[in-house]
A and B are shown apart, each in its own frame.
Chain A
Amino acid sequence: MLLIDCPWCGTRDQREFTYGGDAAVKRPADPAAVSDKEWHDYVYIRVNPRGSHVELWHHNAGCRRWFKLRRDVVTHEMQGSAPIGSELEPPLPIAGRPGKP
């Protein structure tokens, strides 16, 4: 079971949340001004990294707010969460993590 850190409610069971996809994807501010390629990349292209991934989650069975979560998609390790609009810290190198030599 994923245990997800909601920035407002703390650590809760994944069943309370809905996944909202890659948070790095940004809607162009002025869709009419961007090229077809930029629009295509926004709609369809994903980096889909094998490692640390910043993603959107909705605490739909809790405070009902959206937030950002950094998660390692290979190990399921949780690497921090933050409200929308604030930046997430990059993950610590393994050696610097609490409890790791």
Chain B
Amino acid sequence: MVKYSIFSLARNALSRHENWPEAWRSPEPKSEYDVIIIGAGGHGLATAYYLAKEHGVTNVAVIEKGYLGGGNTGRNTTIVRSNYYLEPNAHFYEKSLQLWEGLSQDLNYNVMLSQRGVLNLAHAPSEVDSFHRRGNAMRLNGIDAEFMTRDQIAQMVPLLNMSMEARYPILGGLIQRRGGIARHDAVAWGFARAADARGVDIIQNCPVTGIRREGGRVTGVDTARGFIKAKKVGIAVAGHSSHVAAMAGLRLPIESHVLQALVSEPIKPCLDTVVTSGAVHFYVSQSDKGELVMGGDLDGYNSYAQRGNLPIIQHVVAALLALFPCFSRLRMMRTWGGIMDMSMDGSPIIAKTPIGGLYINTGWCYGGFKATPGSGWVFAHTIARDEPHKLNAEFTLERFAEGKTWDEKGMGPTPNAH
């Protein structure tokens, strides 16, 4: 692997950037691997990387039905944060955020992490109270959180409509300053390149069509390029989890739903933090290219279509204008959707399955991008050691039967409400 640096950049400039080597190989699949990961999204690639780096397991393939990073990794709105209330989520996402903070150096790939702060707006006195409660819980868990008054918010985000006559009056907010955004594609590419450099085979355009088992243990996977033997198999296919787990006869506490996002035409820098409102079902940030990147809730009905419908788009734009009237003349450029693995309690599942050597990583709901390094870290540990890391020990498949759900929003088993 050529190390990316100012020197390699200068050297390659001399040859007009025509001699950069490929960032990763496109190998023929071997007949057998120690570990096969299904799905080359951020999670699958991070898992392979940490398997090689932290556990010395390098005879690994990541098998992807399309192109790497073409799923939710390349479709998400890139918010990175660890502002959770419940302990297992708080500690897991905080570990992930700490990995983010060193990721560009570790991967030798600029993932463009921008810790510009994630501000949650409160629009009602009860929400102010709950923000204090969550902020206090975060600080007790060693995570940064600050309550902001109206005046502080008005100063920090001057474009917000701070009038008490506004449709959604702003009473305060909770900010995590270490939160922010990152470059989504770069995360997939950086993990792919670093995993490949450690010997991991990334096999693209190769759907997995079956999971073979013998005597309660997994033996390999059927793919568009034939059967490939494996001692262990990890599933990391996000919205396609139910479909792929069914190949091994498993049924999951998961529903697939479409989440949409949209971007405006690019404008000059004007919004230097991420602004979200849970009550209004809306969030927005400005990308490095100048586009406003925004989104809201799920469309709400089961979906495997990577496209949604107009009502959500209209809602998101109406919310943008209610909070930021100054954006009324902006034109929107693109909308798209991704398929979310919505779990029954809104928290992830990163766990062993009842089948020996088969592991699953799913239930990411809206929030799996920020989890990417942390998820790969603990999933690699779970696969290599055949037991969970303490950070994912609570995120089992069995927790639903045991009454130990982790329901951050208190919504109950309604996947489209988390």
| B241 CB, nearest partner CB in chain A, Å | 8
Q: Please, which residue of chain B has its CB at the minimum distance from the CB of A51?
A: B304
Q: Tell me whether A36 and B240 are in contact (CB under 8 A).
A: no
Proximity string of chain A (47-78) to chain B, C-beta cutoff 8 Å, 1 when within and 0 when not:
11110010100000000000000010111100
Are B253 and A37 neighbours in the complex by a CB distance under 8 Å? no
A-chain residues with CB within 8 Å of residue B29 when the two chains form the complex: none
- When the two chains form their complex, are residues A48 and B256 in contact, meaning their CB atoms are under 8 A apart? yes
Contact B302 A37 (CB under 8 A): no
**Residue B400, interface by CB 8 Å:** yes
Interface string of B276-309 (1 = CB under 8 A from A): 0000000000000000000000001111110001
How far does the Cβ of A36 sit from chain B's closest Cβ, in whole Å? 7
Give the total number of A-B pairs whose CB atoms are below 8 A apart. Answer: 70
* 0 or 1 for each of B243-264: is its CB under 8 Å from A? (1 = yes): 1000000011111100000000
> Is B413 positioned at the interface, with any CB of A under 8 Å from its CB?
yes
A75 touches B305 (CB 8 A): yes
Tell whether B14 is near chain A: CB-to-CB under 8 Å.
Answer: no
Q: A1 CA to B243 CA in the complex, in Å?
A: 26
8 nearest interchain CB pairs?
Answer: A48-B242, A44-B253, A44-B400, A19-B301, A40-B401, A74-B304, A50-B243, A50-B304
Q: Which residues of A contact B416 (CB under 8 A)?
A: 19, 21
Among candidates B240, B243, B252, B310, residue contacting A45 with C-beta atoms closer than 8 Å:
B252
With the chains together, A64 CA to B143 CA distance in Å? Answer: 47
B374-418 interface bits toward A, Cβ cutoff 8 Å, 1 = contact, 0 = none: 000000000000000000000000001100000000000111100
**Complex-state Cα separation, A82 to B87, whole angstroms:** 45
Query: In the complex the two chains form, is A47's CB within 8 Å of B242's CB?
Result: yes
Q: Which residues of A contact B (CB under 8 A)?
A: 1-2, 14-15, 19, 21-22, 36-37, 40-41, 43-50, 53, 55, 71, 73-76
Q: Is the CB of B301 within 8 A of A45?
A: no
Asked if B21 CB lies within 8 Å of chain A CBs, one says no
* Other A-B pairs beyond A21-B302, A73-B304, 10, CB < 8 Å: A1-B311, A15-B311, A40-B401, A43-B344, A46-B415, A47-B251, A48-B252, A49-B243, A55-B301, A74-B305
**Is B302 in contact with A22, judged by CB distance below 8 angstroms?**
yes
Given known pairs A15-B311, A19-B416, A43-B413, the reply for A48 and B400 (CB within 8 Å) is: no
Chain A nearest CB from B379 CB (Å) reads 21
* Closest CB in chain A relative to B115 CB, distance in Å: 36
Interface of A is mostly: mixed
A45 and B253: CB pair below 8 A?
Answer: yes
Chain B residues near A15 (CB-CB < 8 A) = 311
* Most chain A C-beta atoms within 10 Å of own C-beta, residue among B252, B255, B304, B413: B304
Give the chain A neighbours of B242 by CB distance below 8 A.
46-50
Which residue of B240, B253, B303, B310 is within 8 Å of A46 (Cβ)?
A: B253
Closest chain A residue, CB of each to CB of B314 = A15
User: Which chain A residues border B300 with CB–CB below 8 Å?
Assistant: 19
With A73-B302, A74-B305 already in contact, the answer to whether A46 and B254 are too (CB < 8 A) is yes
User: Which of A1, A44, A53, A74 contacts B310, CB < 8 Å?
Assistant: A1
Contact of B305 (CB < 8 Å), options: A14, A36, A73: A73
Please state if A45 and B305 are interface contacts (CB–CB under 8 Å): no
Q: How far is the CB of A58 from chain B (nearest CB, A)?
A: 12
Q: How far is the CA of A19 from the CA of B300 in the complex (A)?
A: 7
Residue of A nearest to B258 (CB): A73
Nearest neighbor of B300 in chain A, beta-carbon distance? A19
* A53 CA to B311 CA, complexed, in Å: 22
Q: Given known contacts A53-B302, A74-B304, is B255 in contact with A48 (CB within 8 Å)?
A: yes
Q: Which of B253, B301, B304 has the most CB of A within 10 A?
A: B301
Residues of chain B within 8 A (CB-CB) of A45 are 251-253
A53 to B310, CA, bound (A): 22
Q: Is the Cβ of A44 less than 8 Å from the Cβ of B301?
A: no
A61 to chain B: closest CB distance in Å?
12
Determine the chain B residues whose CB is within 8 A of the CB of A55 once the complex forms: 301-302
* A46 close to B255 (CB less than 8 A): yes
Identify 22 residue pairs between A and B in the complex whose beta-carbon atoms are under 8 Å apart, listed by A's number: A1-B310, A14-B309, A21-B416, A40-B400, A41-B251, A43-B413, A44-B401, A44-B413, A45-B251, A45-B252, A46-B242, A46-B254, A46-B415, A48-B252, A48-B254, A48-B256, A50-B304, A73-B301, A73-B303, A73-B305, A74-B304, A74-B305
